[in-house]
Amino acid sequence: MIDAAQVKKLRDLTGAGMMDCKRALEEANGDLDKAVEILRKKGLAQAARRAGRAAGEGIIESYIHAGGRIGVLVELNCETDFVARTEEFHSLAHDIAMQVAASSPQYVSKEEVPEAVLAKEREILLAQAENTGKPAAVLEKLVAGRLEKFYQEVCLLEQPFIRDPKKTVKDLVLEHVAKLGENITVRRFARFAVGESLPEEAGN
């Protein structure tokens, strides 16, 4: 028997409707973690349908860390000014800015990684894989696996979320798409650290 306290706890965790929470708990036989996963999958399915919609509103969030030694700016977009003003949207922007500060990604998504960078990384990973002495059929799988790890290091959306490493930043964004009912996109970010080399300096 699912009681009201369980339903309320799941609603607080996910932001989903009361009946959706009750059904998810029944489907999960009262297991809270399974119920969260069920709602997340349903939410992600709804979110995927919204992904093509234009997101021309939003905010620019700033975050300063480590006694003023690291600073981040993030532009987070949504569809309406109404959602852009909500506490949930601002909280998401803040979490993403913290993520950038902590994990120092280079790109927003896989699609942003330049082909030249990808080709160079594949070349390095293939050389490393060949050193294992494993057969050619296995090498490609090794490279593919290590490439995914590379994406997790350099792409913001692929990184494990610092507050809950069981999900990625992309999962976090899609959960908010499901909760707020609008397409949400991370458009760009900039990260500054005191004393770091600028690209033109690094080349000298």
Kindly list the domain boundaries of the chain, sorted by start residue. 4-50, 57-109+155-202, 114-152
> Domain 57-109+155-202 has what CATH class?
alpha beta
pLDDT digits (tens, 9 = 90+) for 71-113: 999 999 999 999 999 999 999 999 999 999 999 999 999 999 9
* Model-wide pTM > 0.75: no
For 4-50, the fitting CATH number among 1.10.8.10, 1.10.3720.10, 3.30.300.20, 3.20.20.70 is: 1.10.8.10
CA proximity to 152, closest of 196, 199, 99: 99
pLDDT digits (tens, 9 = 90+) for 163-182: 999 999 999 998 898 888 88
